[in-house]
Structure 1
Amino acid sequence: MNWKLRIDRIHRLKEKGEFDRVVMPLSYLGMGIGFLALCWVGIVRLDGGKMHPVALVLGLFFFVLPLILTVIRYFRGHFSKRLIA
């Protein structure tokens, strides 16, 4: 990204706004679903049942999804002080 071009900064601001309004709330919802899936796998495992690897992998993925998206946003420059129109 060229920080000197105003149009690039405007596009990045729009992208940041879309992430803030749409993507991050959905990722937090996914984190809740992932937490429930991990709890379910743990309860089944403690009860002596078989562990379902698909539920475990999906639960872990959705649980860490907000962290992954935050790292992506950091490298895309969403938290930069230069991100002004």
Structure 2
Amino acid sequence: MGVSATLIGVAATVAATKKIETIKMELESEKQRDVLYTELSDLADQCAGDIKLIHSNYCTIYKLKKRALPKGTSNRNDLSSPANDAAVGKCY
């Protein structure tokens, strides 16, 4: 009888420990997921700002090339490839 009680106690301890460890891992996983989403959100914001800057520069060069802006505004007034109509259509 003492052996069965010991085995039941060991099994209960193992089951409880396993359940507690599972809960801890789930909480840690949620924290890591939240950190990842925060990092991705920051990266998306930074990329959006960079894309706006690139688009603005592209439009400025395009207008310089088309002589829409006065000469001397920029030292470089060439596009490395033909203008992208989709991007140029959204210039200013």
TM-score tier after normalising by the smaller chain length: 0.3 to 0.5
Q: TM-score, normalised by structure 2?
A: 0.38
Higher-RCO chain (CA-CA 8 Å, sequence separation at least 6): 1
Q: TM-score, normalised by structure 1?
A: 0.40
